[in-house]
Amino acid sequence: MKAPPGARPPRGAAPAGQGAAAVVSLREVAKVYRMGEAEVSALAGVSLEFAAGSFTAIMGPSGSGKSTLLNLLGCLDRPTSGSYFIAGEDVSRLDDDQLSEIRLRKIGFVFQSFNLIAQLSVRENIELPLYYQGWPHAESMKRAEELAGIVGLGGRLEHRPNQLSGGQQQRVAVARALANDPEVLLADEPTGNLDSATGVQIMDLLRGLNEQGKTIVMVTHEPNIAAYAAARVHMLDGRVDRIEE
Amino acid sequence: MHQSRVARNIRLGIKTLLLHKLRSFLTTLGVVFGVGSVVAMLAVGEGASAEALERIRKLGSDNIILDSIKATEDVQSGSVRSRISIYGLTYDDEDRIGRTFEAVKRTVPVKLVRKEGRLGDRTLEVRVVGTSPVWFDLVRREVIAGRLLGAEDDHGSTNAVVLTEYGARRLLATENSIGQTLRIGGGYFEVVGIVRNEVSSEGVQVPDEEVDAYIPIHVARGMFGDYVVRRSSGSREQEFVELHQIIVQVRSTEEVAATAAGIEAMLARFHKKMDYKVRVPLALLRSAEATKRTFNIVLGSIAGISLLVGGIGIMNIMLASVTERTREIGVRRAIGAKRGQIISQFLIETVVLSSVGGAIGIGVGALIPWLITLFAGMPTVVTAYSVVLSAGISLAVGLVFGLYPAVRAANLDPIEALRHE
């Protein structure tokens, strides 16, 4: 269950759908929701590979299945059929606790509305994944300081989220997503709640992280934001419509 | 390190609760009143019964008290204008009891005569208690002045009398009057000591009365004899009673019941009539303790209901809190918190709430009995067990009523929770 020590995948952006060193791969993944009597197909046989160190945007109109895809990638949900591998491990049939463990060790989330916990300080928000991993307090405090430095919020560790601007809150969220050194960073409309200037800053931050080797998968519907990614996956009616590099 | 993690969880729980100070405070009030009423009610119940138990203990839990009573067939024959009724315990009875039962440590003979006591121009109807010095070993009373009866009084040239505090006040006006001469009936006595007296009340009898005058039994017998003449509405009644009471002290409390039964059987053999009564303070003590238990259970149940209401209040607020914090729960789950970790987070918060409420409740519950004693004069006792019990109960209330909201929080679907609002 634990990430193999020192097994950092090779760096460099690789296009989705090909590449040998895939850190995340989906094979014929389908997701069917049951709504009363009717069955609704949200994903219909999606096969994708995300190479280590890649930066991919997932685009598409609402109802195209991009949110479902992101939930599956984030191990918040299980596919109805097909298989899903993260760092070589099939996670498509794991139970709730095992999925939590995968999220805790291998996945980082950045949300549109930041989703910081209001009663916790910046430091405590960043520490949260480490807290659930059971890190000793002193070490996780130190790690939180490092991460705050990386996202450019070194001096605001003891602030409350509501004392920060939107852009700063999203930086805290990025720091929190990086705390467990995830295999893949999942971003769901990361600039959706920000003005365009602040959005650019956040995208610069993400691009910088990608250049340092972080694998990023981002859902967005804004073409200029998607342009930061090396590859764009266009979804339509629960299928991959086309891949653009 | 594990210890500090628990402390950290509690600290985070407190921090979250302090976000809504008023709400948290109001939530704890239910437990405050519940626990407060448990402690206060038990203290009042305990105080009331402690007083009764103390009185019974003064009778002596290792004693058996035998009283002479007029048998019923004697009382009926009132048509005879003058007759002698002979009844009650005898010197032989006392002697036999002392010799027969190995468990009997000692016996105290008691002869009671009502006489007028006179000192100067003051008079008081006293109950002359003719007894042996051992009386004061069994009926322990504080000596206010002078001394108790001793062995020397049995053979001395002057007649000694020990008065009670009450009697001394009435007859001597001042308590410090050792050595004065008191006239009782036709005899003269020197006051050698004054003791404090207990007053019988609430159905618990003590062997002494406030008008007692204690003299050696052989003096009582010599001076007043075994005959008592009573005159009422023109009729004249004579009674012949050797001993009015025998107090039997048993070696240990374990042997009291068996010895009492033995004495009763023995008296039944030697007495033709039921002209005696056997009283066992220990049995009274046992039944008083049983009453106290019942009392405590009733009071405890009433208090338990208010605790239940308090617990439901906590559950209600925690359920509202779970709904309000659905998004937070979703975020925690997305980050990798397991269901169990969500459960423990919410459980800690409820237990902190109920424990704080319990601590305040114990304080309030200890204060109320104090005020009751101060203003109503009722005795109250806050016992350690009621405090421990309440602390345990408030912890349990937190766990029981926190479990459902916590499980509900943990079972939220993370995707739904993240989308909430």
Under the banding of pLDDT at 50, 70 and 90, the label for residue B238 is confident
In this structure, the answer to whether residues B301 and B326 fall within a common structural domain is yes
CB atoms A100 and B338 under 8 Å: yes
Closest residue to A137, CB basis, from B4, B330, B333 = B4
Q: Two tokens at A106?
A: 């291998």
Contact across the interface for A115 and B16, Cβ inside 8 Å: no
pLDDT band at B70 (very low <50, low <70, confident <90, very high): confident
Q: Which of residues 128-187 of A touch B (CB under 8 A)?
A: 128-129, 132-134, 136-137, 176, 180
Q: Is the pTM of this model over 0.80?
A: no
Question: Is B8 touching A (CB cutoff 8 A)?
Answer: yes
Angle at alpha carbon of residue B216, lines to B210 and B218, rounded to 5°: 135
**Domain closes at, from B274, B307, B335:** B274
Q: Which phi and psi angles does A111 have, rounded to 5°?
A: -105, 165
At residue B49, the pLDDT reads 75
- C-alpha angle B279-B285-B289 in degrees, rounded to nearest 5: 150
Q: Examine residue B64 and state whether it is found in any structural domain, yes or no.
A: no
B19 and chain A in contact, CB less than 8 A: yes
Question: Rounded to whole angstroms, how far apart are CA atoms B176 and B254?
Answer: 42
Tell me what the mean pLDDT of segment B120-143 comes to. 85
Do A105 and B338 make contact, defined as CB atoms within 8 angstroms? Answer: no
Domain-located, residue B61? no
A128 and B418 in contact by Cβ < 8 A? no
Verify that B248 and B365 share a domain, yes or no.
no
Residues B258 and B369 in one domain: no
Q: Decide if B65 is inside a domain.
A: no
B21 in contact with chain A, both atoms CB, cutoff 8 A: no
What are the tokens at A98?
């095992």
- The answer to whether residues B79 and B9 belong to one domain is no
What order of strands is seen across the sheet that includes strand A89-90?
A38-51, A22-35, A81-86, A89-90
Whether residue B11 lies inside any domain: the answer is: yes
**Residue B186 structural domain:** 70-274
**Which residue, A62, A80, A31, is CA-closest to A235?**
A62
| B218 contacts B160 by C-beta, under 8 angstroms | no
For residues B189-216, one letter each, b for 16 or more C-beta atoms within 10 angstroms of the residue's C-beta and e for the rest, the string is bebbbbbebbeeeeebbbbbbbbbbbbb
Q: Which residue has the higher pLDDT, B135 or B202?
A: B135
Cβ <8 Å between B415 and A71 = yes
Closest CA to B323 of B183, B190, B226, B420: B420
How many distinct structural domains can be found in chain B? 2
**Interchain contact B11–A (C-beta under 8 A):** no
Higher-scoring residue by pLDDT: B79, B132: B132
For residue B330, the chain A residues in CB contact (below 8 A) are 115
What is the pLDDT at residue A38?
87
Please tell me what DSSP assigns to residue B200. -
Query: Other CB atoms closer than 10 Å to residue B385's CB: what's the count?
Result: 9
**Per-residue pLDDT tens listing for chain A (245 residues):** 344 444 334 333 333 444 447 889 999 999 998 888 888 899 999 999 999 999 999 999 988 999 999 999 999 999 999 999 998 889 888 999 999 999 999 999 999 999 999 989 999 999 999 999 999 989 999 999 999 999 998 888 999 999 999 999 999 999 999 999 999 999 999 999 999 999 999 999 999 999 999 999 999 989 999 999 999 999 999 999 999 88
- In angstroms, the separation between the Cα of residue B413 and the nearest Cα of chain A is 9
8 Å CB contact of A132 and B418 = no
Of A228, A157, A220, A230, the residue nearest A194 (C-alpha): A220
Looking at the fold, whether B123 and B200 belong to one and the same domain comes out as yes
The two three-digit tokens of residue B100, written as one number = 């027969």
Choose the closest CB to A76 out of B12, B328, B334: B334
Is B338 in contact with A137 (Cβ distance < 8 A)? no
Residues B257 and B300 in one domain: no
Instruction: Give the tens place of pLDDT for each residue, B4-17.
Output: 778 888 888 888 88
Query: Any chain A CB within 8 A of the CB of B14?
Result: no
Distance, CA of B8 to chain centre:
46
Pairing of strands A184-188, B235-240: unpaired
Q: Cβ distance A186 to A74 under 8 Å? A: yes
Residue where a domain terminates, one of B274, B302, B327:
B274
User: Which residues are bridge partners to A108 per DSSP?
Assistant: A185
Question: Is position B63 within any domain?
Answer: no
B397 and B312, same structural domain? yes
pLDDT of the residue at A211:
95
Chain A residues with CB-CB distance to B333 below 8 A:
76, 100, 103
Distance to chain B for A97, nearest Cα, Å = 6
CA distance B388 to chain A (A): 33
B3 touches chain A (CB under 8 A): no
Lowest mean pLDDT across A49-58, A109-118, B139-148, B268-277: B139-148
B414 touches chain A (CB under 8 A): yes
Are B141 and B38 contained in the same domain? no
Same domain, B195 and B110: yes
**Which of B1, B5, B335 is the closest to A109 by Cβ?**
B335
| Contact list, B1 vs chain A (CB under 8 Å) | 136
> What does the pLDDT read at residue A215?
96
Whether chain A has a CB inside 8 Å of the CB on B1: the answer is yes
User: Taking the C-alpha atoms of B268, B269, B274 and B276 in order, what is their torsion angle to the nearest 10 degrees?
Assistant: -70
Same domain, yes or no: B110 and B258: yes
Band of the pLDDT at B201, cuts 50, 70, 90?
A: low
B80 and B210 within one domain: yes
> Nearest CA of chain A to the CA of B344: how many Å?
12
Predicted ipTM of the assembly: 0.90
Report which of B419, B266, B137, B153 is spatially closest to residue A113, judged by C-alpha positions.
Answer: B419
Nearest by CB: B338 against A97, A105, A111? A97
Q: What's the Cα-to-Cα distance from B81 to each of A76, A240, B234, B236, rounded to whole Å?
A: 108, 127, 8, 6
Of B15, B16, B331, the CB nearest to A115: B331
Could you say which DSSP state residue B34 is in? H
Answer yes or no: are the C-beta atoms of B65 and B247 closer than 8 Å.
yes
Decide if pLDDT at B248 tops 50: yes
Put simply, whether B418 touches A (Cβ < 8 Å) is yes
A204-208, B131-135, B318-322: least confidently modelled range:
B131-135
- B133 in a domain, yes or no? yes
List CB contacts of B144: < 8 A, sequence separation 6 or more: B165, B168, B175, B194, B195, B196
End-of-domain residue from the set B247, B274, B301: B274
On whether both B230 and B340 belong to a single domain, the answer is no
Residue B20 lies in a domain: yes
Nearest residue of A to residue B4, measured between CA atoms? A137
Q: How far apart are CA B318 and CA B311, in angstroms?
A: 11
* Residue that has been written with the tokens 């791969």 in this structure: A25
Q: Provide the angle, in degrees to the nearest 10, between the axes of the packed helices A137-150 and A166-178.
A: 130
Handedness of CA A72, A76, A81, A86 (dihedral sign): positive
Query: Which has the higher per-residue pLDDT, B399 or B279?
Result: B399
* Averaged pLDDT score across all residues of chain B: 84
Contacts of A133 in chain B (CB under 8 A): 336
Residue A103, Cα to own-chain centre: how many angstroms?
10
Q: Does residue B137 sit within a domain? A: yes
Q: E strand or H helix at B165, and its extent?
A: helix B165-172
